[in-house]
Amino acid sequence: MAKITFHNSYHVDLKELMRVYETNYAKLNALLPHKPEVGEVRCYQAAHMTYQLEVSEVTKYTTLVDICQSDEIAVFPLPTMSVRLYHDARVAEVFSTDQLTRVEPRYCYPNDKMVQKDEKAQVNRFLGDWLSFCLRHGISRAPINISPQ
C-alpha cells in the first residue's frame, strides 16, 4: 500500500523572531552614534575587512540603516542590507537585502528567486551573528562617544 506523505508548511516562530529582533536592536545601537542623523556613516575594521553602517532615514519612531561591506575587493562579501530600527518597540529587522527589495515573513517554495521558506528568519539571524562579530572583533575608524540612552 502506498504511503501518503504530507509536508508541513512553514510557520513563523514569532517568539524566536522577536527575540532575534530585540537582540539585534541592542547590538546595532551599540554600533551606531547616540543620536544618529541622516547621512552619518560608521566604518568598522574586523578581520581585515571593512564594514559600513550608513543612516539613511531618521523619523520620530524609526531609523533606517544601510549595511554593506566597503572593501575595494571583498574576499567574503557581506550582502547589502537595510535594517529598520523601531525605537518604540526596541526591535530591529532586516527590511531589504540586495536580492530582495522587501523581505517577506515567509515564502512559498520553490519560487522564482529561490529564497528559503524562512528567509526572513535566516537573514535576521545572520544580521545578529554579523553584529556580534563586529562588536567582538571590530575596531571603529572613528571615535565612538558612549552616552547614556
Q: How many residues does the chain have?
A: 149
Cell numbers standing for residue 93: 529587522
On whether the CB atoms of residues 110 and 5 are closer than 8 A, the answer is no
Average pLDDT over residues 123-137: 92
- Residue carrying C-alpha cell 550582502: 79
Task: Assign 4 a pLDDT band (cuts: 50, 70, 90).
Answer: low
Confidence of residue 9 (pLDDT cuts 50, 70, 90): low
Return the minimum-mean-pLDDT range out of 41-45, 63-67, 144-148: 144-148
Residue 39 has pLDDT above 90, yes or no: yes
Which amino acid type is present at position 88? D
Q: Tell me the pLDDT tens digit for each residue of 88-120.
A: 999 999 999 887 778 877 677 776 877 778 888
C-alpha cell at 120: 526572513
Model's pTM, two decimal places? 0.81
Distance in angstroms (rounded) separating the CA atoms of residues 138 and 45:
5
- Predicted local distance difference test score (pLDDT) of residue 79: 78
Bigger pLDDT: 28 vs 76: 28
**Cell numbers placing 99:** 536580492
The C-alpha cell that represents 97 in the structure block: 537585502
